[in-house]
């Protein structure tokens, strides 16, 4: 009976699209779903409206209220326009930037959004072709805009597209503007409320000049120009995995002095089909296979890869046997923050007013490095909008050195307010040159960090649960972890539980409840054990996944201890996985 009710509801919603002011192609796609005896596609396309959340939109492309299409994108853009017109009513001209990545329909969605903004009297700066997300963030600040959007689904599978909304500081929208924009989007009751006919006089195409200005800002971040000059021909392989990184990363590496950047020609081809990979996500090992093969062929020292919208970076380095190993997101963070803090200290650039930022699920080794160097560290929620908020709150008071998250995102410098693979690639290459100039490989540098600060093994596990049933299952899993908390992890007693959904923690050693000081609630649970193990659990905000982050610790006294320490910590991780059934 419940299924029959749901089918009746989605059929009614689909019929409204058949009868409404939608184009013929959309109506035919909806009719095909209605005519199909299998109603699963119809249910998934219409069981809800694609939610314009605090980060914008993300969903599978196609017809339907729960799909990315010109109408859901149109409603989002009209709602954002309506809010901008209210919020900045005193301005003579409201301005926005629009960028997009390589995905199918990204250019179409960007141009339709430009038409809608301009139809509402808003000045639009539209990039001439695909660009990395960080350049959109930069352009908003550079051009004095009030908002901006990036059409991208980041590293999601090819069926997806998305829409990120930015505010006037170049960061993704935060409270109260996020809630207010959502309210305006929800007020779009009909496709007829959307102004699709643009005003071309208000749309200005931007491109090369902004690229050059961006690269000049990245050059200012470089701390070891002499090492780069001496090691300029260090061999590196770079791949954009068919995405937007190709427009800026090679040019930036050349501009700071590197002369031996090796490409993967097949993956320089811009394509929303991502024909050479199963997933365009640099977190996935297979995504770097072709680049590593090229590095072996050319005897390169390391590999860098960026995702479709050019905000995340994945890397691979050679181990002591010369074999390539993938660097996980936490290790990447260690490389960056260790280098930036150590090098700044060497150059006498530490004044006591510097700070770094990490997310709550990122390795705790970052705090050890910051503490030893006399640098303040902030913890924040997953998502660069929270890092951007901390940068904004400290602007003019303290100096931001860098920050990031374990999901392969990093930002050095504050001219961008989102994760930035362009500057991240530049600095990773700089670190490799600096290490080589000191007689070290990147692997030996990583070993030395572990010797100094302790070994940490971090493993992320994502369980994919698609559709409505999947969403219900994820909700039930989180409820179970809250009502039946584990008492031990890997044989070590749990001493602290943090529930960011309630902003409460319980310290079992002191037997006391603690309030968590965070800007808002978040559906995240964390367990800490007596021996330092950390387990974080959270549903993804952008994908149909529930994520588990396991962090265990060990001790290294020498580089020779690496293999044994890794084996011991792997055993701990596997024991915890068995315990959790993941």
pLDDT at residue 422, as a whole number = 98
Overall average pLDDT of the 532-538 stretch? 95
- Token pair 């009746």 is at which residue? 8
> Which backbone phi and psi does 505 adopt, to 5 degrees?
-135, 155
Instruction: Indicate whether 282 and 223 sit together in one domain.
Output: yes
Tell me whether residue 413 is exposed, middle or buried, using C-beta atoms within 10 angstroms of its C-beta: 0 to 12, 13 to 18, 19 or more. Answer: middle
Is the peptide bond between 193 and the residue preceding it cis, with omega within 30 degrees of 0?
no
Q: Give the rounded percent of residues in the chain with a pLDDT score beyond 70.
A: 99
Alpha-carbon dihedral of residues 215, 220, 221, 224, nearest 10 degrees? 110
- The answer for residues whose C-beta is within 8 angstroms of residue 269's C-beta and 6 or more apart is 242, 275
The chain-wide mean pLDDT, for the chain, equals 95
> Do residues 541 and 559 both lie within one domain?
yes
At 366, is the pLDDT very low, low, confident or very high (cuts 50, 70, 90)?
very high
Q: Do residues 472 and 574 share a domain?
A: yes
Last residue of a domain, one of 453, 472, 497: 453
Q: How far is CA 245 from CA 211, 227, 303, 428, in A?
A: 12, 25, 14, 15
**567 contact partners, CB below 8 Å, separation of at least 6:** none
**Mean pLDDT across the stretch 488-495?**
94
Contact present, 441 and 550 (Cβ < 8 Å): no
Q: Is residue 421 predicted with pLDDT exceeding 90?
A: yes
* 319 lies in the same domain as 403: yes
pLDDT at 1 (0 to 100): 43
Whether 306 and 376 share a structural domain:
yes
Instruction: Give me the count of residues in the chain.
Output: 582
Q: 522, 534 in Cβ contact below 8 A? A: no
Q: What is the pLDDT of residue 151?
A: 98
Residue 244's CATH number: 3.40.120.10
pLDDT band at 56 (very low <50, low <70, confident <90, very high): confident
**Do 266 and 367 belong to one domain?**
yes
The number of domains in the chain is: 4
Question: What CA–CA distance (Å, rounded) separates 350 from 345?
Answer: 6
Q: Which range is least confidently modeled, 342-356, 403-417, 461-475?
A: 461-475
Question: What are the pLDDT digits (tens) for 256-314?
Answer: 999 999 999 999 999 999 999 999 999 999 999 999 999 999 999 999 999 999 999 99
> What mean pLDDT comes out for the span 8-21?
94
Lowest model confidence (mean pLDDT) among 152-156, 212-216, 439-443: 152-156
Write down the pLDDT at residue 426.
98
What's the average model confidence in pLDDT over 324-345? 95
Strand blocks (E) in 271-375: 302-306, 313-318, 324-327, 354-359
Cβ atoms of 143 and 125 within 8 Å: the answer is: yes
Q: Where residue 541 sits, what CATH number does that domain have?
A: 3.30.310
pLDDT at 469: 83
Residue 53 has pLDDT above 80, yes or no: no
Q: Which ranges of 438-513 does DSSP label H, i.e. alpha helix?
A: 442-453, 467-483
> Cα–Cα distance between 337 and 375 in angstroms, integer?
11
0.75 exceeded by pTM = yes
CA angle 39, 59, 74 (to 5 degrees): 105
CA–CA gap between residue 163 and residue 451 (Å, rounded): 43
- Whether 85 and 30 map to the same domain: the answer is no
Q: Are residues 41 and 66 in the same domain?
A: no
Helices marked H in 278-346: 289-298, 329-346
Question: Average pLDDT, stretch 142-166?
Answer: 96
Locate 3 and state its tokens. 């299924």
What average pLDDT score do residues 504-523 get? 94
The per-residue pLDDT for range 217-260, each reduced to its tens digit, is 999 999 999 999 999 999 999 999 999 999 999 999 999 999 99
| Domain end marker among 407, 424, 453 | 453
Average pLDDT over residues 146-151: 98
Same domain, 41 and 111: no
The Cα-based distances of 41 to 281, 348, 469, 472, 538 in angstroms read 26, 61, 13, 18, 27
Return the higher-pLDDT residue of 541 and 209. 209
The b/e string for 495-508 (b: 16+ C-beta within 10 A; e otherwise) is bbbbbbeeeebbee
Task: Give the per-residue pLDDT at 2.
Answer: 57
467 and 375 belong to one structural domain: no
| Bridge pairing between strands 95-100 and 123-127 | parallel
Average pLDDT over residues 104-123: 98
Indicate if 125 and 23 belong to the same structural domain.
Answer: no
Q: Is 147 an annotated catalytic residue?
A: no
463-487: pLDDT as tens digits: 988 887 888 889 999 999 999 999 9
Q: Are 371 and 478 in the same domain? A: no
Out of 453, 486, 501, a domain closes at 453
Q: Could you tell me the two tokens for 416?
A: 């961008």
Q: Of 576, 569, 371, which Cα lies nearest the Cα of 456?
A: 569
Structural domain of 555: 456-580
C-alpha distances out from residue 460 to 28, 139, 236, Å: 42, 33, 27
DSSP characters over 90-119: T-S--EEEEEE-SSTTHHHHHHHHHHHHHH
Identify the residue whose tokens are 């809250």. Answer: 482
Which sign does the torsion angle of CA 51, 57, 59, 61 carry? Answer: positive
Cβ contact 527:494 at 8 Å: yes
pLDDT at 542 over 70: no
Select which of 154, 224, 407, 536 is catalytic: 154
């Amino acid at each position: 009976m419940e299924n029959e009710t749901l089918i009746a509801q989605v059929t009614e919603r689909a019929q409204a699209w058949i009868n409404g002011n939608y184009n013929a192609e959309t109506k035919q796609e909806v009719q095909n779903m209605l005519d199909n005896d299998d109603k699963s596609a119809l249910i998934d396309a219409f069981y809800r409206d694609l939610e314009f959340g605090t980060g914008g939109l993300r969903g599978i492309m196609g017809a339907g209220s729960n799909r990315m299409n010109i109408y859901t994108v149109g409603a989002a853009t009209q709602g954002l326009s309506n809010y901008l017109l209210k919020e900045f009513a005193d301005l003579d001209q409201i301005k926005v930037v629009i960028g997009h990545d390589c995905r199918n329909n990204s250019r179409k969605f960007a141009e339709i959004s430009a038409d809608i903004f301009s139809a509402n009297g808003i000045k639009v700066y539209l990039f001439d072709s695909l660009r990395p997300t960080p350049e959109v963030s930069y352009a908003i600040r550079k051009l004095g805009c009030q908002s901006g959007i990036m059409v991208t689904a980041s590293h999601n599978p090819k069926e997806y597209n998305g829409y990120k909304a930015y505010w006037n500081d170049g960061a993704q929208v935060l409270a109260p503007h996020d809630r207010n924009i959502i309210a305006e989007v929800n007020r779009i009751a009909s496709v007829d409320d959307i102004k699709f006919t643009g005003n071309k006089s208000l749309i200005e195409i931007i491109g090369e000049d902004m690229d050059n200005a961006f690269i000049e800002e990245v050059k200012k971040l470089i701390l070891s120009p002499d090492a780069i000059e001496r090691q300029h021909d260090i061999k590196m392989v770079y791949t954009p995995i068919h995405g937007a990184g190709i427009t800026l990363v090679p040019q930036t590496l050349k501009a700071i002095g590197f002369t031996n950047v090796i490409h993967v020609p097949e993956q320089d081809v811009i394509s929303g089909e991502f024909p050479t990979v199963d997933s365009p996500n640099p977190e996935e090992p297979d995504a770097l296979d072709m680049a590593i093969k090229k590095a072996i062929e050319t005897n390169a020292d390391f590999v860098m890869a960026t995702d479709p919208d050019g905000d995340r970076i994945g890397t691979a380095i050679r181990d002591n046997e010369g074999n390539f190993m993938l660097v996980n997101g936490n290790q990447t963070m260690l490389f960056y923050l260790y280098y930036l803090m150590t090098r700044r200290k060497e150059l006498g650039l530490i004044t006591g007013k510097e700070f770094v930022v990490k997310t709550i699920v990122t390795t705790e080794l970052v705090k050890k490095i910051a503490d030893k160097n006399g640098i303040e560290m902030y913890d924040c929620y997953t998502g660069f909008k929270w890092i951007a908020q901390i940068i904004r709150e400290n602007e003019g008071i303290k100096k931001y050195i860098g920050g990031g998250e374990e999901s392969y995102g990093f930002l050095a410098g504050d001219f961008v307010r989102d994760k930035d693979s362009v500057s991240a690639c530049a600095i990773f290459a700089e670190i490799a040159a600096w290490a080589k100039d000191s007689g070290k490989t990147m692997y030996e540098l990583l070993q030395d960090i572990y010797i100094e600060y302790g070994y940490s093994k971090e493993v992320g596990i994502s369980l994919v649960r698609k559709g409505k049933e999947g969403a219900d299952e994820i909700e039930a899993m989180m409820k179970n972890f809250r009502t039946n908390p584990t008492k031990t992890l890997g044989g070590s007693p749990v001493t602290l539980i943090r529930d960011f959904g309630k902003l409460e923690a319980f310290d079992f050693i002191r037997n006391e409840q603690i309030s968590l000081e965070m800007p808002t609630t978040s559906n995240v649970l964390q367990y800490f054990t007596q021996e330092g193990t950390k387990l974080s659990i959270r549903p993804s905000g952008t994908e149909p996944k529930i994520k588990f982050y396991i962090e265990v610790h060990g001790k290294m006294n020498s580089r020779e201890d690496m293999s044994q320490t890794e084996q011991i910590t792997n055993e701990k991780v596997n024991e915890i996985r068995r315990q959790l059934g993941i």
